[in-house]
Amino acid sequence: MSDKKRILIVEDEVAILRATSDRLTDEDYEMIEAKDGRAGLDLALKEHPDLILLDILMPKMDGVQVMKKLREDSWGKNVPVILLTKLDLDDQKLREIVQYGAAYYLVKRDWSLEDVVKKVKEVLIKQ
Amino acid sequence: MFNDLIILIGILALAIGGFSIWKTRRLRIELKKNEASMKHRMYELAILKELGERVGYSLNVQNIVDIITGSLHQFIEYSAASSMLIDANKLVFKVHLEESVSRKFVNTVRDRMVGSISALLNKDFSEYKIEEIISGAILVEDLDDPVSSFFNIPLIIGEKVVGVITVAHKKTGLYKEEEMTILYKITRQASLAVSKLEDVVATEQMKLNAMVESMSEGVLMTDRDFRLVVANPAIKEIIGLKDKIEISIFDFIEKLDGAFDLRSKLEESIKLDKIIETSDVIVGDKFFQIFVSPVKVRGGATEGSVLGGVVLFHDLTEEKEIEHLREDFTSMMVHELRSPLDGIRTLAELMKSGRVKRSTKSYTEYVELIFENSSRMLELVNDLLDTAKIESGKFQIYPKDSDVRKLVEDERMFFAAQADEKDIILTATTNKEVPGIVSCDPDKMGHVLRNLISNALKFTNIGGHVAVQVFMHKKGGSVSEEASKAGFSWRVKSKNTEPIVPDDSLVIAIEDSGIGISVKNMSKLFSKFKQFNDTASHGKEGTGLGLVVSKGIVEAHGGTINVISEDGVGSVFYFTIPLNIDSGSKD
């Protein structure tokens, strides 16, 4: 196993998945990709990545469910999660998910790819 | 001789005189008799008129009996005129004394009346509580006159004995058949009038009850003391007391505890004399708007007096659900539009940064993704605009002579690559009976075909098949039989009666071996506010607007769109285009 930090990105919008994943690969992270919540959860529990980038509105299993299941797991309860979301801060879903303890959340309306890169670095250095 | 004659004349005169006196007396007796009978008739008429007037206002038997007993003195002599009526669990005994009698006299009358009611109803009433009301002259204990004359008239309403009227006198031998007949007649008339009126009221009440019973809104009514008077089946269902037979207001208060303070709302409504409305009351798993209103007498002598309160439960659940669906729809649209746009922006940001070289594979991939995302958005915006036009009735088609075979083949070619990718066999076949040229809007028709084929491919698993089939429908024919006659065998069979299809139409069917649609979801297929949950759980994209737009296009052609499907077996979506388009939207 390399000493590269591994990041799991769970995102159903292919363009965002592609761009984010490629950009972080550039930063020398090892990327694991999932296009829906269920696949994301499975990969997370199997691969134990150092960080998870998680979309909220997704098919099969939404981000709230993924978070909930993740936090029930002995490994998953501590893994840092950055939420990639289009939801407003006062959205019920977002409030629900924050109560499960996301490391940080971003609202897509405001963020740029570089913001994500910066945030990822910040979180991973703290580890 | 002469004397004899005189004597004879004298005798004759005497005889004549005597006769005339006798005659006059007889006449006088007759006259008196007539007069008495006239008086009785007059009395009868007067009392019947009075009864008629009074009965008009009231169905209260006691009132009617009071009128009769109160008027008896006009034609009959009595010491006591009394009535005894059966109430729920007691006897109401009313005595009017014309002259003073002893307690014993009244008791005798009372006991005889109880006896006669018992005999009439063949039931022992001696244990019943008796409510006694004495009016008129006072009781004098020293008197010791027994009841010497006495008669009873039963009071019958609606073929049921409800009481008796009694006339009693200290003197003996007073009451003859005549008096009894008159009283009997009057009582009978009154009884008939009341019975008829009760019938009318009962019929009206039945109508009213039937109306209240069949109302989908929950209705309950209470009297002034908040006792339950009416509770229709809807409200029993709402409150969860459907199977309970005996219910009281306390059941309602208990069941609504915490959600709605029924009693104080009723009190408030009656006190303030106004309708009180409460919204969003949750009972069980439903939302209600509750109206509490006072019920007052309208018209008549007691106008304005409060009878009680009525409570109406209006179910808002469905409205709430629609509101919820609308919100869901909006947030889904936002998601569906924002996602691809976010993707485009993110990719553009990455490319703008200069990190990606033009010659790389990634660069080509990004351009491809941007193109795909913007196409998706454009399609969605077009669907939204079309839906809006369809809903406002402003949707237009431009029919022209079109080659259906080519139209269908073009769409097959368009999807060929996509079908290949999933290893799905996509075919398009047109039956030879289909005319070469059909009048329709080819662009819009292509749109419908694209929607249906793309759906079929989306919901058909790897290795399955999607077939586009074109054939003719004749007036009165069954579409599934016609499909089979044209050589197309459908995996799914129509379970319900086939929908009515316009005469002589072109039928285009898209048959697949896909996942099928459950009966529950079938009805929601062509409606705007559905989908998100369904599609999300299947992991398929889509807003469901495609079918709404398709339906609008087909209907603008005067045709119909239908679906036959079986969970896990497959689906057939087919639409019809009448050969003679008589479309108002034609330019």
SS3 state of residue B568: coil
β-bridge partners, B131: B92
pLDDT of residue B539: 43
Q: Is some CB atom of chain B closer than 8 A to the CB atom of A88?
A: no
**8 Å CB contact of B346 and A59:** no
pLDDT of residue B39: 75
Q: Which helix (H) or strand (E) holds B153?
A: strand B149-157
pLDDT of residue B585: 41
Residue of B nearest to A110 (CA): B342
For the record, the structure tokens of B559 come out as 């045709």
Taking the CA atoms of chain B, what radius of gyration do you get in angstroms? 46
State the best of B336, B344, B346, B369 to mutate against chain A, taking most chain A CBs within 10 Å. B346
* Lookup result for tokens 């009213």: B208
Distance CA A16, CA B347 (A): 7
Question: Could you write out the DSSP letters of every residue in B34-54?
Answer: HHHHHHHHHHHHHHHHHHHHH
Amino acid occupying residue B520: K
β-bridge partners, B219: B312
Q: Is some CB atom of chain A closer than 8 A to the CB atom of B569?
A: no
ipTM score of complex: 0.84
Distance CA B45, CA B51 (A): 10
Cβ atoms within 10 Å, residue B259: 14
For the record, the structure tokens of B532 come out as 């998100």
Distance CA A106, CA B346 (A): 14
pLDDT tens-place values along chain A, 127 residues long: 557 899 999 998 899 999 999 999 999 999 999 999 999 999 999 999 999 999 887 877 888 889 889 988 999 888 989 888 766 656 677 777 777 766 666 766 567 888 889 889 988 887 6
Q: Give the global pTM.
A: 0.55
For the record, the structure tokens of B328 come out as 């869901």
Q: How far apart are the first and last CA of chain B?
A: 138
For the record, the structure tokens of B114 come out as 């109880």
Q: Give me the residue from A15, A62, A113 closest to B344, CB to CB.
A: A15
Distance CA A64, CA B180 (A): 92
pLDDT of residue B58: 58
Q: Is some CB atom of chain A closer than 8 A to the CB atom of B324?
A: no
Q: Which helix (H) or strand (E) holds B425?
A: strand B425-430
Q: Which residues of A touch B356 (CB under 8 A)?
A: 22
pLDDT of residue B534: 45
Q: Which residues of B touch A13 (CB under 8 A)?
A: 339-340, 342-343
Q: In degrees to the nearest 10, what's the CA dihedral of B188, B189, B195, B198?
A: -140
Cβ neighbors of B325 (< 8 A, separation 6 or more) are: B529, B530
For the record, the structure tokens of B477 come out as 């024919």
Distance CA B107, CA A89 (A): 88
Distance (Å) from the C-alpha of residue A15 to the closest C-alpha of chain B?
Answer: 5
pLDDT of residue B427: 93
Distance CA A104, CA A119 (A): 8
Q: Which helix (H) or strand (E) holds B19?
A: helix B2-57
For the record, the structure tokens of B468 come out as 């586009």
Q: Is some CB atom of chain A closer than 8 A to the CB atom of B374?
A: no
Query: How many angstroms from the chain centroid is the CA of residue B299?
Result: 27
- The three-state DSSP-derived secondary structure of A9-77 is EECCCHHHHHHHHHHHHHCCCEEEEECCHHHHHHHHHHHCCCEEEEECCCCCCCHHHHHHHHHHCCCCC
Strand order in the sheet with B286-296: B228-231, B218-223, B306-315, B286-296, B276-283
pLDDT of residue A23: 93
In 3D space, the residue among B415, B506, B501 whose CA is nearest the CA of residue B466 turns out to be B415
State the best of A13, A27, A92, A93 to mutate against chain B, taking most chain B CBs within 10 Å. A13
pLDDT of residue A107: 64
Q: Is some CB atom of chain A closer than 8 A to the CB atom of B23?
A: no
E strands present in B455-518: 465-473, 505-512
Instruction: Give average pLDDT by consecutive 10-residue segment, chain B, 587 residues.
Output: 72 75 80 77 73 63 80 81 87 90 91 90 88 88 84 83 89 80 79 78 81 86 84 86 81 86 89 88 86 83 81 88 79 82 90 84 91 90 88 87 93 93 93 91 93 91 93 87 88 73 87 84 69 44 77 91 88 90 45
Distance CA B379, CA B346 (A): 21
Strand order in the sheet with A6-10: A30-34, A6-10, A51-55, A81-85, A104-107
Distance (Å) from the C-alpha of residue A62 to the closest C-alpha of chain B?
Answer: 9
B299 backbone dihedrals φ, ψ, rounded to 5°: 75, 170
In 3D space, the residue among B488, B502, B499 whose CA is nearest the CA of residue B523 turns out to be B499
**8 Å CB contact of B536 and A13:** no
* Burial (Cβ within 10 Å: 0-12, 13-18, ≥19) of residue B301: exposed
Strands B570-578 and B505-512: antiparallel
Distance CA B439, CA B398 (A): 10
Q: Is some CB atom of chain A closer than 8 A to the CB atom of B339?
A: yes
Task: Judge whether B480 and B498 are in contact, CB under 8 Å.
Answer: yes
